[in-house]
Structure 1
Amino acid sequence: MEETFQSGKGLAGLDEHQVRRFTSWSRWVTLAMLAHAFLVVVRADEHARHPAPDELIPLTCNEIQRLFTTLVVRPVHDAAHRLRWSAWRRRHQARA
C-alpha cells in the first residue's frame, strides 16, 4: 500500500494539491488516482502484449508517463523521434 501511495505521489502529483475545500481536494485526488490507474493499466497491458526484447528493459510507469507527456500533452518533436529516444534510454538502462 505504501509503495502505491509513493508511486501515486511521484507519478500523478497526488501530493501537489493545496487543500482549501473538500470538493476541490476530492476532485484532485480522484484525478490523480485516475492518472495513476491509467499508467498502471497501460504498463500491465504492454507487458502482457509485448514482452520487452533482451536489449531493452520493460516499459515502466515513469517511462509511460514521459512518453504520454511528450507525445500527447506537449508534442515538440515528431513521435518517431520520441520513440527512438525511449528505446535508446531503455537499452542503456538495461546495460547498466
Structure 2
Amino acid sequence: MAYGNALAVLADPTRRKVLERLRAGPRPVNVLAAGLPVSRPAVSQHLRSLKQAGLVEERSEGTRRIYSLRREGLMELRDWLDTFWDGALAAFRREAEKTDGAAE
C-alpha cells in the first residue's frame, strides 16, 4: 500500500507545491524554497517526507542536494488512482450494453 503513504504526504499543501515545482525538472532546495511561505529548512523537511513516500529522489552535486521526481513512485500512485477510473469505465460499459440491448 505504497499509495497510502503518498496520499498522506500529499495532504500537506506545501509538499504539493514542492512536488509541482519539481515538474519543471531537478532543483536544489534553495530554488524549491524560493517564494514559499516556509523556511528553507522546513522545505528540506518536506522533501524528506516526499522522499520517504517514494515520490522524490535526491543526488549530490558537490555540497548541494538536487531533488527530482521519482517516476516509479508517481506511477504507483497513478496506478492506484486508475483503478477508480477503470471501475467507472467498466460500469459505464455494462450500462451502455444494457441500454443498447434494450433498444433492439
TM-score, normalization by structure 1: 0.31
Higher relative contact order (CA 8 A, sep 6+): 2
Q: Mark the structure with the bigger radius of gyration.
A: 2
TM-score after normalising by structure 2? 0.29
Structure (1/2) with the larger helix percentage: 1
